[in-house]
Amino acid sequence: MAELTDFTQYFIIASGASDRQAQAIADSIHDKMKEHKVLPVGVEGYNEGKWILMDYDDVIIHVCYGPIRELYDLERLWHDAKKVRRRKAVKDK
């Protein structure tokens, strides 16, 4: 994203199979970041769980309920950005 915008370096886009799963994903991200003493600048949409935006300044994380992700298709909106896909969940070591 750095070559396309000046407000962030990276977007991370994740999906949950339900609004509760999207909230659980956001909770997990928040907990892991907090372990590293990194707190978000802001969080939007958590209560609804349809599209949760977590702003960590240089990293903006979008956690979407699957149909909402398909509807807004952020990947298409930012199609010029370099894409890195990761399908497997990262396990704790």
Could you report the per-residue pLDDT of 12-64, keeping only the tens digit for each? Answer: 888 999 999 999 999 999 999 999 999 999 999 999 999 999 999 888 899 99
Residue 7 sits at φ, ψ, to 5 deg, of -100, -10
Angle 14-22-57 (CA atoms, 0-180°, nearest 5)? 55
Domain assignment of residue 40, given as a range: 10-77
* Position 49 in a domain: yes
The pTM of this model reads 0.74
* Position 71 in a domain: yes
* Position 85 in a domain: no
Q: Which pLDDT value is given to residue 1?
A: 47
Q: Which pLDDT value is given to residue 49?
A: 95
Q: Which pLDDT value is given to residue 77?
A: 62
Q: How many domains does the chain have?
A: 1
* Position 24 in a domain: yes
Residue 85 sits at φ, ψ, to 5 deg, of -105, 140
Q: How far is CA 63 from CA 3, 8, 52, in A?
A: 23, 17, 5
Most confidently modeled range among 1-10, 15-24, 58-67, 79-88: 15-24
* Position 83 in a domain: no
CA dist., res. 71 & res. 90, Å (int): 26
